[in-house]
A and B are shown apart, each in its own frame.
Chain A
């Protein structure tokens, strides 16, 4: 089959709008053929993960496009970068890496992208509307945009997201289309006791497990005792998009496309109904926890990037306390949220606690951790999922309160009462 193109698409492909647009449209149309798209459609916003420096190839790609004069044609935000230009020198980042990561950042800024440098662009003014067709990279942002905001994006991989931003066009496939947003598998939470439902660790743990069993089906969750907060949904979605390929979930009575169970399934029936059990959650929680013993070198929060609300929740937990001298305490967030948190007086408690903030990047995307930092602890399933493979380090997993307590005591400690 062949994708039908408009006159404008063909003009781009013929190089009539410059070589950069030709290259972007060539990649897009080849992808449209691979995906069996009947046509392309317009997008009105993009979020770019390609600016993350991974090595010479991603830098050459960025500089090729920039050198050809590429400019984005829709409002476009940038995901995390390969370096925190405000403070990489305080960490173990090699200068050569920092220089190349900076070049890649500059290439994308030169294409007209907004220097948001966050994996949570929905925490800024670039928050898409319900039903808006967008092209987003970054798996955790994709699942948030689709599920929590009801915007429409496919899972745009690095390299392709910028092609969409340069042309304003994407293959009309997947989650851009109504029929693919229908719920697939139903997860019932009725057997999960209140003590666990009140623990903020439920959301990353549940997401980690659902991601591993949902496959390509859209998960629908029913039975939350309380309406989850935006940050809890953020944590859950990021977990699903790490252990699985989930790009959209519905939570009945919570997310905008699922006011009712019936609406979540578009009037149809689930392909499968699964009761979430404590056994499944316990085993998912254990899977996230790859640390042995109670040794601890660093606590890290903020994957996806910490929100203003999370800073607000964290501040009173830190007030009057101090981290153990042998345990660093790091929060990763976007530069805009850091600025707002500072103005709101929320960074004071963190500084007095002995904590630090890194912006624009995170521990997974820049080689910042010193060799002596061997065991980390987090409340994030995404950090917990990727740290062993990407960083070769063990990660303890616990709730936010567990993380703060462990930083104070200087050893990994978790409140097990709800989970045993």
Chain B
């Protein structure tokens, strides 16, 4: 691990859908529509206007401020969860109903909710791609630690 204890920190988020996850952060500072933006079969970000275009979010902790655009975003995320190609968890800067919904329906249908945590603008701004993070059920996010 190349992240020292000195750079590790803890954020107290609001768990929109509670759960545990660990993984590498993939961070963007612009919103993402999953419809036309996320390939549910592979986990690739396919919005060619988006900063994360071409990167794969499957199994990572995806951090986006919020979703935008299409109301089909929730369906795409549900497909990704079912296909095992969803992010390990999603961190947002604000309460995003579309993401929470996909996770709640995944819980109702498959008992596999996806952790979704809203951090607030200031905490969200501290996230960096490539850093490890763990998400706890309480909404606490530990940055710079994890497997």
Are B102 and A31 within 8 A (Cβ)?
Answer: no
In the complex with contacts A57-B79, A58-B79, A389-B47 CB distance below 8 A: yes
B57 within 8 A of A: no
Q: Please, which residues of chain A bring their CB within 8 A of the CB of B98? A: 155, 157
Interface membership of chain B positions 63-76, coded 1 if the CB is closer than 8 angstroms to chain A and 0 otherwise? 00011111111111
Are B75 and A52 within 8 A (Cβ)?
Answer: yes
Interface membership of chain B positions 38-72, coded 1 if the CB is closer than 8 angstroms to chain A and 0 otherwise? 00110000111100000000000000001111111
* Max count, chain B CB within 10 A of own CB: residue among A27, A34, A61: A34
A196 within 8 A of B: no
Partner-contacting stretch, out of A237-245, A318-326, A404-412: A237-245
A69 within 8 A of B: no
Are B97 and A31 within 8 A (Cβ)?
Answer: yes
Q: Bound complex: CA of A142 vs CA of B66, how far in Å?
A: 19
B29 within 8 A of A: no
Partner-contacting stretch, out of B2-10, B103-111, B128-136, B138-146: B103-111
Q: Which of B33, B46, B69, B100 contacts A34 (CB 8 A)?
A: B100
Are A58 and B75 within 8 A (Cβ)?
Answer: yes
Q: Please, which residues of chain B bring their CB within 8 A of the CB of A142? A: 71
Are A242 and B70 within 8 A (Cβ)?
Answer: yes
In the complex with contacts A27-B108, A34-B95, A245-B69 CB distance below 8 A: yes
Q: Bound complex: CA of A306 vs CA of B100, how far in Å?
A: 33
Interface membership of chain A positions 43-65, coded 1 if the CB is closer than 8 angstroms to chain B and 0 otherwise? 00000011010111110110010
Are B69 and A244 within 8 A (Cβ)?
Answer: yes
A274 within 8 A of B: no
Output the nearest chain B residue to A53 by Cβ-Cβ distance: B75
Are A158 and B72 within 8 A (Cβ)?
Answer: yes
B36 within 8 A of A: yes
Q: Please, which residues of chain B bring their CB within 8 A of the CB of A60? A: 82, 109
Are B68 and A244 within 8 A (Cβ)?
Answer: yes
B21 within 8 A of A: no
B27 within 8 A of A: no
Q: Which of A30, A36, A49, A388 contacts B71 (CB 8 A)?
A: A49
A23 within 8 A of B: yes
Are A160 and B70 within 8 A (Cβ)?
Answer: no
Whole-angstrom distance between the Cβ of B100 and the nearest chain A Cβ: 5
Q: Please, which residues of chain B bring their CB within 8 A of the CB of A34? A: 16-17, 95, 97, 100, 104
B31 within 8 A of A: yes
Are A245 and B68 within 8 A (Cβ)?
Answer: yes
A-B contact pairs, 18 of them (CB 8 A): A34-B95, A34-B97, A54-B40, A55-B41, A57-B78, A57-B109, A61-B109, A139-B69, A139-B71, A142-B71, A155-B97, A158-B73, A159-B78, A241-B70, A244-B68, A385-B69, A389-B47, A390-B35
Contact residues of B with A, CB < 8 Å? Answer: 16-17, 31, 33, 35-37, 40-41, 46-49, 66-76, 78-79, 81-83, 95, 97-98, 100-102, 104-105, 108-109
Contact residues of A with B, CB < 8 Å? Answer: 23, 26-27, 30-31, 34-36, 49-50, 52, 54-58, 60-61, 64, 137-139, 142, 155-161, 241-245, 287, 290, 364, 385-386, 388-390
Beyond the given pairs A390-B36, A390-B46, 15 more chain A to chain B contacts, judged by CB atoms under 8 angstroms and listed by A's residue number, are A27-B101, A31-B97, A31-B104, A35-B97, A54-B40, A55-B79, A56-B79, A64-B109, A139-B69, A156-B71, A157-B71, A159-B74, A159-B75, A160-B97, A287-B49
